[in-house]
Chains A and B, each alone.
Chain A
Amino acid sequence: SQELEQSPQSLIVQEGKNLTINCTSSKTLYGLYWYKQKYGEGLIFLMMLQKGGEEKSHEKITAKLDEKKQQSSLHITASQPSHAGIYLCGADHSGAGSYQLTFGKGTKLSVIP
């Protein structure tokens, strides 16, 4: 089974609607990283979460880390076409100084105008 599961795999929402993407780890999380990818291009770093209960926001995107559940959620408020893309979570399962990030398969988000 995957070390890092993302759900849903894909999502289609109407512009203006809210949505949530989840990332669940099968191992202890030392850090959780959210990235966004436009199709066929590189990943853009969004946010990093390291402490249980931590919550960060950037514009209309909020990410939370629930350490007990080893889960993180990414919430987008009032979605816009510019939010469309693939959202990937990356997990540090090894601790500080590790170069190994485990990534989920990604959630493909489409926003219909």
Chain B
Amino acid sequence: ETGVTQTPRHLVMGMTNKKSLKCEQHLGHNAMYWYKQSAKKPLELMFVYSLEERVENNSVPSRFSPECPNSSHLFLHLHTLQPEDSALYLCASSHAGANVLTFGAGSRLTVL
């Protein structure tokens, strides 16, 4: 148990579908992150929320939409995705300003 729970663990969707990834942490952290991990590429930071406000948005296409309703929950809403968006999406949390991250197990996304 890593303390960061991601659901679903696996998701297959068509290019016209709308789905959401969910992340939950009960570690008392106040910063949450979405990373994308593709084969043979470094981890890519997508979004960061600190104290429930978005502080980083690394030029991510608008078909990815994050939501952070409170410091314990983070969502990634997906719509009109492309096959190249297939990847492992990792959620992480930390104390604000700290770089020691606790990661979830990831959501494996396949876009057909």
Q: Footprint of B on A, CB under 8 Å?
A: 2, 4, 31, 33, 35, 40-45, 48, 88, 90, 92, 96-106
Q: Footprint of A on B, CB under 8 Å?
A: 2, 4, 6, 31, 33, 40-43, 45, 48, 50, 55-56, 88, 90, 92, 97, 99-106, 108
Interface SS of B by simple majority: strand
Q: How far is the CB of A13 from chain B (nearest CB, A)?
A: 22
Given the interface contacts A40-B106, A45-B100, A45-B102, does A99 sit within 8 Å of B42 by beta carbon?
A: no
Q: Are A43 and B56 in contact (CB under 8 A)?
A: no
Q: How far is the CB of A43 from chain B (nearest CB, A)?
A: 4
Q: Complex formed: what's the CA distance from A35 to B40 in Å?
A: 17
Given the interface contacts A41-B106, A43-B90, A43-B103, does A101 sit within 8 Å of B97 by beta carbon?
A: no
Q: Complex formed: what's the CA distance from A110 to B105 in Å?
A: 20
Q: How far is the CB of B38 from chain A (nearest CB, A)?
A: 10
